[in-house]
Amino acid sequence: MSKAPGMPSSSSSSPLTSQPPLSTASPPAMPLPLRTIPGSYGWPLLGPIFDRLDYFWFRGPANFFKKRMEKHKSTVFRTNLPPTWPLFLGINPNVIAVLDCKSFLHLFDMEIVDKKNVLAGDYMPSVKFTGNLRTCIYLDTSEPQHAKIKNFVIDILKRSSTVWLTELKANLDILFDTIETSISAKGSARLSFPLQKCLFNFLTTAIVGADPTTDPTIADSGYAMLDRWLALQILPTIKIGILQPFEEIFLHSFAYPFALVRGDYSKLYNFVEKHGNEVVQRGVNEFGLTKEEAIHNLLFTLGFNAFGGFSAFLPTLIGTITSDKTGIQEKLRKEVKEKIGSSSLNFESVKDLELVQSFVHETLRLNPPVPLQYGRARKDFQLSSHDSVYDIKKGELLCGYQPQVMKDSKVFEDPESFKAERFMGEKGRELLNYLYWSNGPQTGSTTESNKQCPGKDIVPLTSFLFVAYIFQRYESISGSSSSITAVEKAK
């Protein structure tokens, strides 16, 4: 691919040499041609059903976007995205895909896009899952409740930093003790349940201010309750990979009712109401929320955002470390040993770990935990990709698929390859302008006026600590994203 106007040539050592970050506002060096958006929505009912099968079954999400991008010779095109038909008849699956860093950027511009109820496109799980309320993530910035709830969450994270660290370390001790015991007894350790238990205990204490061990039911099965509640909301939108056509028939054809998890949700609600009262009261007294709004949003932030996000990302991070064959473990361990040694881990100590940080950022680039982002055009406007301009009509739904966007060859050199050192040094750090996992650039600021994830900084920081913890504890670790097969203790 040739470089776009305004972008440096491919011969430069970094694609971003002294370039300002992309912006939807800055005009390109040369005017770009106006193009009709390629692609179509096909026949009513048939187009959406074909696209759904192509997305979930024939190709899978990654190839679905890649192949169409190649077919249309464009990073911007029209397509349908599931869920569609038969019981999602009220849902409009028509979207405009935006698949390069420049066109994707429009999704962060709150002047241009409306984020009301578009977390999963035109489909939204029943509000019964969240106490008949629309939680923060479904609110547009023009809605007054958005600022109140977002500031509440930002405040929680600010206040909880000390607890965050101590709880993370204490629960990592439990997690890896459990893993070692399983390896000794059975030769390997499954990761999923112990990791989720660790995450649930640590995040509940850090975010809700409530210790799950005070309630045996929550301590034992809180994480599984959140899993079920989460799964029912997102099942129609994700590929699981079970035998087709069963996945299409049973998982993607209708929305599961809240009634199936009502009991679980009530237990979690009561737990937060009783044990998280101090945080709930802050939501009420300092941020003007009702008690119900504070509790349902706390549960959503805990369960969907934090627990859901980390449950998706950490197995990938562990898998990237444990299955590595390029010697990255040795390099990471060396850096941790040289810069921290056996001193206590904290947020300050990981700030010097350049390689660990770059490794985490590269893992986030190639595996953005929330792959799809949407935004509805607030007005008619012109959308720019690297090489063309397109007319967008008010009300049209833009959809970015991040795993493809993060392989933009005009921004990332050799974009398909995992390069642990990619984000190191001055030029590497500039690339953080284009790391979008948090629904905004990694160099951006999370505020009440945008929709960037409030966990933008704490998520990478927690991941740096996680990697540093592993290499303080182990000389080497083997396995995959789902199990650990061997560990060699640090000397």
Looking at 37, 99, 105, 119, which residue binds ligand HEM (CB under 6 A)?
Answer: 119
Residues 6+ apart with CB under 8 A from 184: none
Looking at 99, 207, 353, 406, which residue binds ligand HEM (CB under 6 A)?
Answer: 207
- Span 18-77, contacts to ligand HEM by CB under 6 A: none
Q: Quick one: 192 exposed, middle or buried, by C-beta within 10 A (0-12, 13-18, 19+)?
A: middle
Looking at 357, 363, 384, 439, which residue binds ligand HEM (CB under 6 A)?
Answer: 439
368-403 burial by CB neighbour count: b if 16+ within 10 A, else e?
A: bbbbbbbbbbbeebebbbbbbbbebeeebbbbbbbb
Q: What residues does 487 pair with on adjacent strands? A: 477
130 sits near ligand HEM (criterion: CB under 6 A): no
Looking at 106, 150, 333, 422, which residue binds ligand HEM (CB under 6 A)?
Answer: 150
Which is closer to ligand HEM, CB of 134 or CB of 252? Answer: 134
Distance CA 317, CA 336 (A): 17
CB of 453 to ligand HEM, least distance (A): 3
CB of 431 to ligand HEM, least distance (A): 19
DSSP 170-190: HHHHHHHHHHHHHHHHHSSEE
153 sits near ligand HEM (criterion: CB under 6 A): yes
Looking at 210, 226, 355, 459, which residue binds ligand HEM (CB under 6 A)?
Answer: 459
Which is closer to ligand HEM, CB of 78 or CB of 451? Answer: 451
Which is closer to ligand HEM, CB of 137 or CB of 420? Answer: 137
- The answer to whether 89 and 44 are in contact (CB under 8 A) is no
438 sits near ligand HEM (criterion: CB under 6 A): yes
- Span 343-402, contacts to ligand HEM by CB under 6 A: 369-370, 373
Give the residue among 308, 288, 291 at the shortest CA–CA distance from 448: 288
CB of 468 to ligand HEM, least distance (A): 17
179 sits near ligand HEM (criterion: CB under 6 A): no
CB of 460 to ligand HEM, least distance (A): 9
Using CB under 6 A as the binding criterion, the count of chain residues that bind ligand HEM stands at 26
226 sits near ligand HEM (criterion: CB under 6 A): no
Query: Which tokens go with 368?
Result: 């953005």
What is the residue whose two structure tokens read 């977390």?
A: 119
Which is closer to ligand HEM, CB of 142 or CB of 326? Answer: 142
CB of 208 to ligand HEM, least distance (A): 10
Convert residues 86-115 into a mask of x (bound to ligand HEM by CB under 6 A) and - (unbound).
-----------------------------x
Which is closer to ligand HEM, CB of 150 or CB of 378? Answer: 150
Give the residue among 433, 452, 431 at the shortest CA–CA distance from 443: 433
Which is closer to ligand HEM, CB of 16 or CB of 299? Answer: 299
Distance CA 210, CA 202 (A): 10
Helix (H) or strand (E) holding 402: helix 402-405
Output the CA angle 454-457-462, nearest 5 degrees: 115
- Span 302-321, contacts to ligand HEM by CB under 6 A: 305-306, 309-310, 313
Output the CA angle 333-338-342, nearest 5 degrees: 80
Please identify the residue of the shown chain whose CB is closest to the bound ligand HEM: 309
Which is closer to ligand HEM, CB of 68 or CB of 150? Answer: 150
Phi-psi region of 477 (alpha: psi -120 to 50; beta: other; left: phi over 0): beta
- The answer to whether 253 and 86 are in contact (CB under 8 A) is yes
Which is closer to ligand HEM, CB of 306 or CB of 487? Answer: 306
154 sits near ligand HEM (criterion: CB under 6 A): no
Query: Which tokens go with 285?
Result: 């007294």
Give the residue among 213, 373, 226, 212 at the shortest CA–CA distance from 311: 226
Part in contact with ligand HEM (CB under 6 A); list of ranges 233-241, 379-387, 431-439, 476-484: 431-439
454 sits near ligand HEM (criterion: CB under 6 A): yes
Distance CA 274, CA 62 (A): 44
Which is closer to ligand HEM, CB of 15 or CB of 375? Answer: 375
Q: How far is the CA of 330 from the CAs of 190, 321, 366, in angstroms?
A: 24, 10, 22
- Span 243-302, contacts to ligand HEM by CB under 6 A: 301
Which residues of this protein are in contact with ligand HEM, per CB under 6 A? 115, 119, 136-137, 150, 153, 157, 207, 301, 305-306, 309-310, 313, 369-370, 373, 437-439, 451, 453-455, 458-459
